[in-house]
Amino acid sequence: MSETVLTFDRTSDAPREARRQVREVAPPDRVEDATLLVSELVTNAVRYGPEERIRLIVSENGEAMRFTVHDAGLGPLPAMRAEDDPEPGGHGLRLVDALADRWGVERGSTRVWFELDR
């Protein structure tokens, strides 16, 4: 299994830089999905994470690529909102659920990951 760790300052430029880097490593047939989902998750880390850097961990095992967005947040784990929830924002995990082959969240700071089959 190979793994690449990319780091970004927690600024409004982080999602754009993450998209640029993901385009270089994502499987060609899933590059648009990977770019959209990483952008969503990094944007959330910028918006809700603490004043620290954001890590994007990209790993692959030949059958799938995993993208993990990790920030040092210790608050509640991200959760998918109900489809009929009228509050603005907070529906990005619906995109992850619709496009990723698998996804999840992990405690121990905030880690949201998704996998795309090759």
pLDDT tens-place string over residues 45-75: 998 888 789 999 999 998 999 999 998 876 6
Residue 12's domain comprises 2-117
Distance of CA 40 to the CA centre of its chain: 6
Number of domains comprising the chain: 1
Give the H/E segment covering residue 49: none
Find the CATH number of the domain harbouring 29. Answer: 3.30.565.10
Mean pLDDT of 66-87: 76
- Alpha carbon distances (Å) from 73 to 18, 27, 76, 108: 19, 29, 9, 9
- Is pTM beyond 0.75? Reply is yes
Per DSSP (E only), the strands in 1-118 are: 2-8, 54-60, 64-71, 102-106, 110-117
**β-strands 64-71, 54-60 pairing:** antiparallel
